[in-house]
């Protein structure tokens, strides 16, 4: 049974379980070093050991097809994801100022990216859409996909998206191959996508040498509702809980009757849920319904938690939200819609990282490069400020490089 807590008793929910990456890092560090130094030979050894791979190369021919219903669903989702991704592109442009400064920016895509697509308990073809389409919208030329055991749907979507670099590899060895390159796998500029604790640890260790999205922990949702349909709310909480036994589903409400109805409905739905073996321990160990005194208190609690997913049944609360990976407004906007087909990305920051950034977007695959052009008069007007600051820092050549132009 899910816990029903008073606000004062819920403080512990903000102190989440910290991902125990240290042990995982110790385990994956030798794998990363091995793949970096021995390339394909090491990659194949680990693929055979961990991924039950028996081939001669991890590179796969991209051949697949989708059943009609699946293809229609994928085409709908892909169109919406691509449409939204294009709106996220930064705009190139210049501004000419009266004093002779011409300032602006150009936008250039990364040369390459790698998408990690999990295929464990739940193969995630939707993650292929969410990671590849924004990169395509950004104009990334080389797109690599790593998956330890591609399902028929993943293969079909890969062909539909025009993927040419697909590799049957997983775990830390896949992250290392993408980060450093091997004889078969191109080195990429950024690696994105979710994975287990070993994938997360590997991404953490290679961050800085190659870009990553973030180190992801267990998935989570916070729902804020003063009133609503208990059946819908319970279903939304279970949708998150079925991901992982460590997933977190929290309802914040001012209504004790709603809290009781949702708790009862969760039990009723668990009785017939095929994924209850995962969802029940998630709900019982990490889930909670918290009774707050006011909606402002719920917003304050949510901001402290900085959840991956935040569902606001009252859209008027949006103005108070400071930290969330993605926000779902109104009772007709379930989180599952965002997971698959509405358009925004489902690769989102967890474990409080939403305090620092939002979800994966087209912006992750481009560089915004500043450009400046000064007229002689603009440089002359700036010379006193430039030289004074340069000499205050002890950088005489900087000052002289400007003064030489007016000598």
- Per-residue pLDDT tens over the stretch 321-375: 999 999 999 999 999 999 999 999 999 999 999 999 999 999 999 999 999 999 9
User: Residue 106: beta bridge partners?
Assistant: 369
Contact 266, 237 (CB under 8 A): yes
How far apart CA 43 and CA 141 sit, in angstroms, is 24
Q: Which long-range contacts (CB under 8 A, 24 or more apart) does 164-168 make?
A: 164/62, 165/59, 166/59, 166/60, 166/62, 167/58, 167/59, 167/60, 168/47, 168/51, 168/53, 168/55, 168/58, 168/59, 168/60
Q: What distances in angstroms separate CA 339 from CA 165, 195, 236, 252, 335, one per listed residue?
A: 25, 16, 12, 22, 6
Condensed to tens digits (0 to 9), the pLDDT of residues 89-115 reads: 999 999 999 999 999 999 999 999 999
Q: What percentage of residues in the chain have a pLDDT greater than 70?
A: 99
**pLDDT band at 18; cut points 50, 70, 90:** low
Any idea where the domains of the chain sit in the sequence? 3-19+218-343, 21-215, 375-406
Condensed to tens digits (0 to 9), the pLDDT of residues 47-79 reads: 999 988 999 999 999 988 899 999 999 999 999
The separation between CA 203 and the C-alpha centre of its own chain, rounded to angstroms, equals: 13
For the whole prediction, is pTM greater than 0.85? Answer: yes
Q: Among 308, 313, 323, 335, which one carries the catalytic annotation?
A: 308
Contact 16, 351 (CB under 8 A): yes
User: Residue 172: beta bridge partners?
Assistant: none
How far apart CA 347 and CA 388 sit, in angstroms, is 47
Residue 287 in this model has a pLDDT that exceeds 70: yes
Q: Is 308 a catalytic residue?
A: yes
Q: Is 153 a catalytic residue?
A: no
* Nearest alpha-carbon partner for 46 in 20, 27, 25: 27
Domain range 21-215, CATH class: alpha beta
DSSP character for 290?
E
| Section 170-185 average pLDDT | 98
Do 3-19+218-343 and 21-215 have matching folds?
A: yes
- Tally the C-alpha atoms within 13 A of residue 383's C-alpha that lie toward its C-beta: 15
Q: For domain 3-19+218-343, is the CATH number 3.40.50.1980? A: yes
The SS3 of residue 17 is: coil
The SS3 of residue 208 is: coil
Query: Strand pairing of 112-116 and 142-146?
Result: parallel
Residue 13 in this model has a pLDDT that exceeds 90: no
Condensed to tens digits (0 to 9), the pLDDT of residues 211-268 reads: 999 998 899 999 999 999 999 999 999 999 999 999 999 999 999 999 999 999 999 9
Other Cβ atoms less than 10 A from the Cβ of 161: the count is: 18
Q: Among 84, 165, 243, 309, which one carries the catalytic annotation?
A: 309
Kindly give the residue spans of alpha helices, DSSP state H, lying in 208-273: 230-241, 256-270
Residue 19: the pLDDT is 58
Give phi and psi for 136, each to the nearest 5: -65, -40
Kindly give the residue spans of alpha helices, DSSP state H, lying in 68-151: 68-87, 125-138
How far apart CA 131 and CA 161 sit, in angstroms, is 11
What are the respective helix, strand and coil percentages of the chain, to the nearest 5? 50, 20, 35
């Amino acid at each position: 049974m899910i816990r029903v807590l008073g606000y004062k008793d819920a403080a512990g929910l903000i102190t989440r379980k910290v991902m125990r990456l240290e042990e995982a890092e110790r385990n994956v560090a030798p794998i990363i070093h091995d793949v970096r130094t021995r390339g394909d030979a090491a990659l194949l050894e680990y693929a055979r050991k961990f991924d039950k791979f028996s081939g001669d190369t991890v590179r796969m021919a991209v051949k697949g097809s989708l059943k009609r219903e699946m293809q229609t669903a994928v085409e709908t989702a892909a169109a919406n994801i691509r449409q939204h991704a294009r709106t996220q592109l930064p705009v190139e442009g210049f501004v000419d100022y009266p004093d002779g400064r011409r300032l602006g920016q150009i936008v250039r895509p990364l040369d390459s990216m790698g998408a990690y697509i999990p295929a464990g308990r739940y193969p995630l073809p939707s993650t292929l859409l969410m990671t590849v389409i924004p990169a395509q919208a950004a104009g990334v030329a080389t797109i690599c996909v790593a998956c330890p055991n591609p399902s028929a749907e993943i293969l079909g979507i890969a062909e539909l998206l025009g993927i040419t670099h697909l590799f049957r590899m997983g775990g830390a060895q896949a992250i290392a191959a993408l980060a450093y390159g091997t004889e078969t796998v191109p080195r990429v500029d950024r690696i994105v996508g979710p994975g287990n604790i070993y994938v997360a640890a590997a991404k953490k260790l290679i961050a800085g040498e190659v870009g990553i999205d973030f180190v992801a922990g267990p998935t989570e949702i916070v729902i804020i509702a003063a009133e609503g349909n208990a059946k819908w709310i319970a279903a939304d909480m279970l949708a998150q809980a079925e991901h992982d036994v460590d997933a977190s589903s929290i309802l914040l409400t001012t209504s004790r009757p709603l809290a009781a109805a949702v708790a009862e409905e969760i039990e009723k739905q668990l009785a017939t849920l095929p994924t209850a073996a995962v969802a029940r321990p998630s709900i019982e160990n990490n889930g909670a319904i918290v009774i707050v005194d006011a909606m402002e208190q719920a917003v304050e609690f949510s901001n402290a938690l900085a959840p991956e997913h935040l569902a606001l049944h009252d859209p008027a609360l949006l103005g108070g939200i400071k930290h969330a990976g993605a926000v779902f407004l109104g009772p007709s906007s379930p989180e599952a819609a965002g997971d698959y087909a509405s358009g925004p990305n489902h690769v989102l920051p967890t474990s409080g990282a939403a305090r620092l950034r939002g979800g994966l977007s087209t912006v992750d695959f481009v560089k915004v490069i500043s450009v400046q052009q000064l007229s002689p008069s603009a440089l002359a007007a700036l010379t006193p400020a430039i030289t004074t600051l340069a000499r205050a820092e002890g950088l005489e050549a900087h000052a002289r490089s400007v003064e030489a132009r007016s000598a």
